[in-house]
Amino acid sequence: MAIMKPEVEIYDTTLRDGSQGEGINFSVADKLRIAEKIDAFGIHYIEGGWPGSNPKDMEFFAEAKRRKFARARLAAFSMTRRKGIAVEKDDLMRQLLAAETPVVTIVGKTWLLHVTEVLRAKPDENLAMIGDTIRYLHDHGKTVFYDAEHSFDGFKDNPDYALATWQAAEKAGAQCIVLCDTNGGCLPNDIKRITAFAKAKLNSRVGIHTHNDIGLGVANALAAVEVGATQVQGTINGYGERTGNCNLTSVIPNLHLKMGLKCLPEKSIPKLKDLSHFVDEIANIRPDPRQPWVGATAFAHKGGMHVHAVDRVVNSYEHIKPELVGNHRRVLVSDMSGRTNVLLKAQELGFKITNDTPELKSILARVKELEHGGYEFEAAEGSLALLIRHRLKHQEPPFTVETYHVSMRRDVPLRRGEEGKSICEATVKVRVGDEMAHTVAEGDGPVNALDSALRSALIRFFPKLKSVTLTDYKVRIIEASTGDNGDSASGTAAKTRVLIESTNGKDEWGTVGVSDNIIEASLQALVDSMEYALMKR
């Protein structure tokens, strides 16, 4: 089957530009999980990071090299060679090539002000830096994209020089000249005018990279597409510095459903909300309910009317059917939407399950009940898979935790900034069939001690658990309950959700636990993690 070349390609920079956002801090394991999710969604390019800027990005590329991505091509980011140094002598190039990605994206200067005042280079030297760098990478067999920083501000200041920088990149072999509104302050009309100009003067493809400083990140990207830009760079949920990057979670449905530009697999679009929430969960960010398209209130209507009337009126008050992007209407208690989401997810996890599966109803009811209690399954596919499996197979879990005990003590005075003086100990009693194992372990913290105790109890029965390690542990306070006497409860009385990420060296998975008690929530997530590891072949 011939695959048609997409009219617009999507370039995701959540892992690089997005990670510049305040409060965003991805571990290597986080980055790998997000990359896999973005790939599964069908996005064309994933920018994994800037090799040489930090050890984490190097580690990510070393790991990513060993993965197979279905569709996405991996890109590494860097800048033009430094001034006064030969490109092959520049350390950044060596590190960039070591990432071994098929695509490299190079950022360089367009605006003379930046060339002379920030870089303190001659205009011609900047052109040479752009040309040398791109030629060098092109000669190394890379697909090179050129991020032309401050394209619009630079063009307004000196159009001839801006054009000269883009042409230098094109001549050296850049496949796409990506015009960047780096400061995010341009209006759509300027973006359109300047992109159309670039498009007319260049033979290579033109791309667009915008920021949302005046709330126009998405509008500006679409304006550029209207006049012929064929690559859109952005981030999931609009993560990024200051007010963020162009939000792909809005760009994608706008291209597909409003402009009729089918750039991603049709079947991915109903998974948009899932993708958005997954990335929020991994970033440990509360999903914004007012986010366009995918937010919880995006299709919420105040009810109170007769059901038939509501149905009729609601349709006329919605710009699309919410299901098209995996969202749902919040006025009718619509069983169908939840059903579709759970079905999609279950099929994704490899269960042979359809609308006619008799257990579907009870699975759905249980998921709803748990979600009501504060669970989130978007990034906890391990826990969801176990839930579905228990209901489908009517099987007993492979082990049960009969009892546990955690203790903590400190024998020296508490001083700020002084760690490691507390002693944590956990005992766990586990039942496997008719056998019992009773173990004790110490740890750096109560959860760590509990994990060690549980693990050593289980490894006796299930040696394959030896390869399972925890890669991340996230805690979110989800709901401050109010006490009976009307006191608003303190933060410590709130419910806690724990999300654990685990790996067996080959795959990663997430599991979740919710409780008033953080240790209890952690134990649930730990137990699910081990059980899921056993369930996987």
Q: How far is the CB of 98 from Zn ion (least distance, A)?
A: 24
Beta bridge partners of 177: 146, 206
Give the end-to-end CA distance of the chain in Å, rounded to a whole number: 32
Q: DSSP labels for 412-449?
A: S---TT--S-EEEEEEEEEEETTEEEEEEEEESSHHHH
- In this structure, the number of other CB atoms found within 10 A of the CB of residue 201 comes to 13
Q: How far is the CB of 461 from Zn ion (least distance, A)?
A: 51
Quick one: 17 or 280, whose CB is closer to Zn ion? 17
Q: Would you state the structure tokens that stand for residue 341, as one six-digit string?
A: 């989401």
Quick one: 180 or 353, whose CB is closer to Zn ion? 180
Region of 355 (left: φ > 0; alpha: ψ -120 to 50; beta: rest) is alpha
Biggest alpha carbon–alpha carbon distance for the chain: 81
- Please choose, out of 9-17, 90-98, 125-133, 188-196, the segment that lies near Zn ion by the rule CB under 5 A: 9-17
Quick one: 10 or 437, whose CB is closer to Zn ion? 10
Q: How far is the CB of 211 from Zn ion (least distance, A)?
A: 6
Residues between 207 and 226 that touch Zn ion (CB under 5 A): none
- Cα–Cα distance measured from residue 395 to residue 373, given in angstroms and rounded to the nearest whole number: 24
Quick one: 53 or 469, whose CB is closer to Zn ion? 53
- Please choose, out of 14-22, 106-114, 156-164, 313-321, the segment that lies near Zn ion by the rule CB under 5 A: 14-22
Q: How far is the CB of 209 from Zn ion (least distance, A)?
A: 6
- Please choose, out of 11-19, 134-142, 437-445, 488-496, the segment that lies near Zn ion by the rule CB under 5 A: 11-19
CB 377 within 8 A of CB 430: no
Q: How far is the CB of 21 from Zn ion (least distance, A)?
A: 11
Residue 497 backbone phi and psi in degrees, to 5: -110, 130
Q: How far is the CB of 130 from Zn ion (least distance, A)?
A: 18
Quick one: 217 or 326, whose CB is closer to Zn ion? 217
Quick one: 231 or 503, whose CB is closer to Zn ion? 231
Check binding of 17 to Zn ion (CB under 5 A): yes
- Cα–Cα distance measured from residue 268 to residue 77, given in angstroms and rounded to the nearest whole number: 27
Q: DSSP labels for 195-218?
A: HHHHHHH-SSEEEEEEB-TTS-HH
Q: Give the residue nearest to Zn ion (CB).
A: 17
- Please choose, out of 13-21, 42-50, 360-368, 484-492, the segment that lies near Zn ion by the rule CB under 5 A: 13-21
- Please choose, out of 15-23, 277-285, 387-395, 435-443, the segment that lies near Zn ion by the rule CB under 5 A: 15-23
**With contacts defined by CB under 5 A, how many residues of the chain interact with Zn ion?**
1
- Cα–Cα distance measured from residue 90 to residue 446, given in angstroms and rounded to the nearest whole number: 47
Q: How far is the CB of 380 from Zn ion (least distance, A)?
A: 31
CA torsion through residues 302, 307, 313, 319, sign = positive
Q: How far is the CB of 278 from Zn ion (least distance, A)?
A: 22
Region of 406 (left: φ > 0; alpha: ψ -120 to 50; beta: rest) is beta
Quick one: 17 or 132, whose CB is closer to Zn ion? 17
Q: Which residues bind Zn ion (CB under 5 A)?
A: 17
